[in-house]
Amino acid sequence: MEYSEGDIINDHIEPHRDLFKRINHKSVIEFGLGVGTQFFLDNCEFVTSVELFTKDKELAAKLHISNETWMGKFKEKFAEYEWEVIGHECSQEIIDAELDVTGYGKVQREGNPTSDAYKKEIHELVDKVLKKHYDYAFVDAGSHLRGDIINELFDKVDVIGAHDTNNKLIYGYGRIIVPSNYRVEENPSGCGITFWIKK
């Protein structure tokens, strides 16, 4: 598949090509599958895609998060590949946190959720899906809690990437606490992609 240079959805492809030339990635886990998943399927031996979703389509549209039809669409699109897809239906704690940080809840848009209850679920989800070793983790989930996912990945995956990092607040990137044993590489082109690489 060819990726259009101007396609904002896929503006992380070229930085990934550069990263993969420098660091050999045979296994990848991504949080948030989509059109760009094909890059990993074409360039890695083992790919796991994790999708956080709600079955409530109206709520998904309101919050700009995934519903369960999104996974099915891409499983069908990439049916010729062997890969693992894990769906995780969001609990009420995650939905409440999403409501907060998208401006429909009790805090100002881009703020921190009023409760930390959702963090336990994210911690348990990351522990569950990281039963295997992965060379690389990419976070581009249809969720505004991406920063919290990244915090859980530190010291579990040596190289972590995230999309849409030009705006540090909208996806919770402002909540990231970078350990001293990771260095940060930022590429601000397009929507921005950031890599955290273990020293």
Quick: pLDDT tens for 123-143: 999 999 999 999 999 999 988
147-156: pLDDT as tens digits: 999 999 999 9
Strand 159-163, strand 193-198: pairing? antiparallel
Residue 146 has pLDDT above 70, yes or no: yes
Q: What token pair was written down for 29?
A: 């886990």
The boundaries of the domain holding residue 156 are 14-198
The least confident of 4-8, 20-24, 61-65, 137-141 is 4-8
Number of domains in the chain: 1
Q: Is residue 119 part of a domain?
A: yes
Q: Is residue 117 part of a domain?
A: yes
Q: Is residue 6 part of a domain?
A: no
Q: Is residue 74 part of a domain?
A: yes
**Could you give the C-alpha distances from 6 to 20, 70, 161, 193, in angstroms and in order?**
21, 23, 20, 15
58-114: pLDDT as tens digits: 998 888 888 989 999 999 999 999 999 999 999 999 999 999 888 776 666 667 899
Which domain CATH number covers 164? Answer: 3.40.50.150
Q: Which of 124, 125, 122, 123 is nearest to 86 (CA)?
A: 125
Q: Is residue 29 part of a domain?
A: yes
Q: Is residue 7 part of a domain?
A: no
Q: Helix H segments across 23-108?
A: 37-43, 57-63, 68-77, 92-101
Q: Is residue 8 part of a domain?
A: no
Q: Is residue 139 part of a domain?
A: yes
| Rounded Cα gap, residues 198 and 134, in angstroms | 13
163-193: pLDDT as tens digits: 999 988 889 999 999 999 999 999 988 899 9
